[in-house]
Amino acid sequence: MPTKISMRMRRPVRLLILTSVAFALLLGASAWILGSKLIEPANHKVALPAGFSAPTVSIPGVGHSIAGWWVDQGGDSPVVLLLHAVRADRSTMVSRARLLMKNGFSVLLIDLQGHGETPGEAITLGYLESQDVVAARDWIKLTAPGRKIGVVGCSLGGAAVLLAPQPSGFDAVVLEAVYPRIARAAENRIRIHLGFFAPALTPLLLMQLEPRLHITAADLEPIRSIHRLGAPVLIAAGSKDEHTTLEESQDLFDTASRPKSLWVVEGAQHQDLLAYDGQGYEKNVVGFLRKALLDSTEESAPDANAPLNRHIGNK
C-alpha cells in the first residue's frame, strides 16, 4: 500500500510529465502553424507600376504559365532576368529593371510559382521555383537569340537559381542575401521572432518538408551547387542581416568557383540593397554585370582574383 510520502512524490512527477507533454504539443502545434504560413502561396494581382512601360508576357512553365514583364532594348543588348524574394512579386524588381535599362540592358521580370500571378500550390523555398528560372532562361534564348544573359536573384530568387540544374546557362549571376542551407535559414528566422525556442522548433519545421512538399532538407542546400554555376558570380550581403548572416554569405562565397566577388553592404539587414545603397548597388552590381555582359575586351573581363569589396552603406 503506498505511503503518504510516496503519494506526495508522485504528484510532482505526474505534474512534470503532464507539463512536458503539454509543452511538446504546444511546440508541435506552433511548428505546424508556422510551417503552414511559410509555404502558403502568395498569389495576387500585380499592377504595372506608374511610369514603367512593359508588355506582359506569359512564359510556358512546368504545369503552369509564368507571368512576366519583358522590356527588349533591341540590338545586341544583354538580357537580365530579375527574380524576386519570398512572398514578393515581379513589381518589387522594377527599380532594378529601371537601373539596368538605363545602363543598356534588356530585362525580364517574372513571378515565381506560388507568387504574384504565377500559380502554385505551395512556396517550396526555391525547389519548384527553380523550374521557372530554367523556363524563363530558355524563353530568353528563344526570344533574344545570341545575346548574353545574366540573372539577379534576391533571397528566394537566388536560391532558385542555385537549385536548378547546373551549369546554370547564364553568363553572369548575382545572388542577393541567398541562404546556403535551409536548416540554418529556418533557425535564423525562428530565432528572430521566438528567441530561445529556435533550436526546438527548427527540427519540427524541417520534419514537415517531406510530408508537405515531398522534399528533404538536403534538397534545399543551394551551397552544394554554387561551385558548378559555370558563370561569374557576385554575392551581395548585408553586414547586419540576421536572416542570412554575413557568415553564411561568406561561406557561399568561399564555396563558389572563380571568377567571383563578394559585396558586403555595411549596416544593411535583410532588405532591398538597391533601396538601401543605390550608389553602391550601381557601382558593384551593375558594374559587375557590365563587365560580364557588355564589355567584350579581354582586359575588362571579370577578375578571377577579385578582392572582397566592402562598401559602407549611406544609412
Task: Give the structural domain span for 254.
Answer: 40-181+220-312
Output the pLDDT for position 307.
43
For the segment 55-75, the average pLDDT, to the nearest whole number, is 97
Output the pLDDT for position 249.
98
Q: pLDDT tens digits, residue range 106-165?
A: 999 999 999 999 999 999 999 999 999 999 999 999 999 999 999 999 999 999 999 999
Does residue 293 form part of some domain?
A: yes
> Exposed, middle or buried: residue 55 (CB in 10 Å: 0-12, 13-18, 19+)?
exposed
pLDDT confidence band for 15 (50 / 70 / 90): low
CATH of the domain at 91: 3.40.50.1820
Q: Decide: helix, strand or coil at residue 63.
A: coil
Q: pLDDT tens digits, residue range 66-119?
A: 999 999 999 999 999 999 999 999 999 999 999 999 999 999 999 999 999 999
- Tell me the CA distances in angstroms from 246 to 9, 198, 228, 242, 312, one per residue in order: 51, 19, 22, 8, 14
Does residue 243 form part of some domain?
A: yes
What's the structural domain count of the chain?
1
Does residue 32 form part of some domain?
A: no
Does residue 24 form part of some domain?
A: no
Long-range CB contacts (< 8 A, 24+ apart) of 98-102?
A: 98/52, 99/274, 99/278, 99/281, 99/282, 99/286, 100/286, 100/289, 101/71, 101/73
Bond preceding residue 259 cis, omega within 30 of 0 = yes
Alpha carbons 103 and 100: distance in angstroms, whole number: 5
Does residue 274 form part of some domain?
A: yes
Contact 168, 138 (CB under 8 A): no
Q: pLDDT tens digits, residue range 242-287?
A: 999 999 999 999 999 999 999 999 999 999 999 999 999 999 999 9
For the segment 5-30, the average pLDDT, to the nearest whole number, is 58
Does residue 31 form part of some domain?
A: no
Does residue 291 form part of some domain?
A: yes
Indicate whether 313 pLDDT > 50. no
Angle at 219 between CA 207 and CA 132, to 5 degrees: 120
Does residue 202 form part of some domain?
A: no
Indicate whether 300 pLDDT > 50. no
Q: What is the pTM of this model?
A: 0.88
